[in-house]
Amino acid sequence: MTANENPTVAYFCMEYGLHNDLKLYAGGLGILAGDYLKGAKDEGLPIIGLGIKWKQGYTDQFIGEDGSPYDTYINRHYDLEDTGVTVAVTIRGHEVKVKVWKTEAYGNATLYLLDTDLEENNGEDRWICGQLYGWFKEERLAQEIVLGIGGVRALRELGLDIDVYHFNEGHAVLAALELIEEEKSRGFSFEEAWRKTKEQVVFTTHTPVIQGNESHELRTMEFMGAFRGLDAEEMTRIGGDPFNMTVAALRLSRNANAVAMLHAETANKMWHHVAGRSEIVGITNCIHTPTWVDERITEAFHNDQPLLPVHNVIKGELIEFIKERTGAELRPDSILIGFSRRAATYKRSDLIFSDLETIEPYLKSGQLQIVFSGKAHPLDDTGKEIVTNIVAMMKAYPNSVVFLENYDMEIGRMLTRGSDVWLNNPRRPQEASGTSGMKASMNGVLNCSILDGWWPEACQDGENGWQIGDGFESHSEEELDASDLASLYDVLLNKVLPTYYEDSDRWEQMMRESIRTTSEPFAMKRMLEDYYSKLYRVENA
């Protein structure tokens, strides 16, 4: 590689959201990875994606007659190219065959998918790649051996020369152990092999809650075959005991990044105690605009034409989409607030319903319409309770509250294009980035959000959207929730609704400002440029 060339990057990720028919994603992590590959294709950058061909993907989550969510799984079939390459990994002391498939659609940004559902494998091993995030402990480690160790071996068998190994989250960190073993096989000591591997690896961390960063008992890792020739002392030096995948990734990478500027502050505080780690820089996530932004609104913006008439057509399409899915008949002349994200406790999807005495009159009168969507993790009972509560609100306020079941890319695209307002109210600072808000903003959908994730970098309060609160943080969830709820009601009822119903000229101007201020800074081209300049390139390469 010369100084003028872009390094070739192998990008490891557990999930990819390329398009709605390829069900290899669960949520934001996969959507980012898909947008990253599509952006790399557009820019002609040499990116090689490594992922898993999930037999059933993530859960299809529907609402039962009792109003609570339930999970279903089906075997999925995809049109992929057989590379003719099969590699082997050792799991639980025996050999497991891993087939390598290829997606053809992305040219220079090719995605290779690893698959253990082969006749040569026993029944248990065939299900290693069964469900995305479906299992924990041994089964999760087996998946991570396939992705990390199997991924490096697949690259070798494919004859692909790699300059940089990029781990998107800690799931892929076992790839670095395979790289260390390769260096040791060339005669280098453990210390030398670690140093050489570190020169090749970069890491992106996403989860700003310590409990959400995966760890494993060393004895389980050894039994599963994850040590790759290292001993317990060496594994402990890398990832601790228990072995924390994020800690290991930080110690095994030359550069690391968080996915927003605020997230970088949070992540560096979280991991300040980790000796020998890489510094975590902020590279804010971005979106693939051709996937998420409606061309009609973009054309109207660039031609300096009124945006509201175009938006109202798109909003009408969303209303019809909702009617087809749920039977609810929303009103085109009433404000429509969108909220779609994973049903996790810290995201507080149902916060707006916390004081019904305040909010109920607006729901009953039809002044306020809210459309929700999002899945809870199959094993997250609290997340499912949140969904159940929203569904109960839908039954109590039909045609004012809607929940769209089985959230996917199609629902996300419709909501971020057709809503009037995009609501986001996580407990600060627990939102890593929040790219759905970027999608909304570039469509002229006005963000109304806690100052968390990406929004502090973009928000011009009252100009291109609204901020909820002033960045207040507290160790007391009760205190934080009460403060944020009061601010949410104040902003929504005293600023958002009056502007929508009484000042359409200002609303139009805010839509225009939303698009103007976010379209370039949060488009994938910028993120890729930052990755290459801050993570990938090596001085004097």
Q: What does the block give as tokens for 371?
A: 């459309």
CB distance 419 to 395 below 8 Å: no
Helix H or strand E segment including 372: strand 368-373
Q: Which of 251, 185, 244 is nearest to 210 (CA)?
A: 244
Cα-atom radius of gyration of the chain, to the nearest Å? 23
Kindly report the backbone phi and psi dihedral angles of residue 207, in degrees, each rounded to the nearest multiple of 5, phi listed first.
-90, 110
168 three-class SS: strand
Using CA atoms, how far apart are residues 176 and 323, in angstroms rounded to an integer?
49
**Strand stretches in 158-214, DSSP E:** 164-168, 201-204
Angstrom distances, CA of residue 21 to CA of 32, 283, 390, 410, 485: 16, 29, 27, 10, 38
Using CA atoms, how far apart are residues 276 and 282, in angstroms rounded to an integer?
19
Using CA atoms, how far apart are residues 117 and 146, in angstroms rounded to an integer?
12
- Amino acid at residue number 410: E
Q: Which residue has the tokens 């990044």?
A: 257
CB distance 258 to 534 below 8 Å: no
- Amino acid at residue number 175: A
Using CA atoms, how far apart are residues 353 and 331, in angstroms rounded to an integer?
21
Structural domains present in the chain = 9-286+526-536 (3.40.50.2000), 289-521 (3.40.50.2000)
The strand pairing partners of 114, in sequence order, are: 52, 100
How would you write the pLDDT of the chain (541 residues) with one tens digit per residue?
Answer: 444 589 999 999 999 999 998 999 999 999 999 999 999 999 999 999 999 999 999 999 999 999 999 999 999 999 999 999 999 999 999 999 999 999 977 788 999 999 999 999 999 999 999 999 988 899 999 999 999 999 999 999 999 999 999 999 999 999 999 999 999 999 999 999 999 999 999 999 998 887 788 999 999 999 999 999 999 999 999 999 999 999 999 999 999 999 999 999 999 999 999 999 999 999 999 999 999 999 999 999 999 999 999 999 999 999 999 999 999 999 999 999 999 999 999 999 999 999 999 999 999 999 999 999 999 999 999 999 999 999 999 999 998 999 999 999 999 999 999 999 999 999 999 999 999 999 999 999 999 999 999 999 999 999 999 999 999 999 999 999 999 999 999 999 999 999 999 999 999 999 999 999 999 999 999 999 999 999 998 653 4
- DSSP character string of 24-87: B--SHHHHHHHHHHHHHHHHT--EEEEEE--SSBSPEEEE-TTS-EEEE--------EEEEEEE
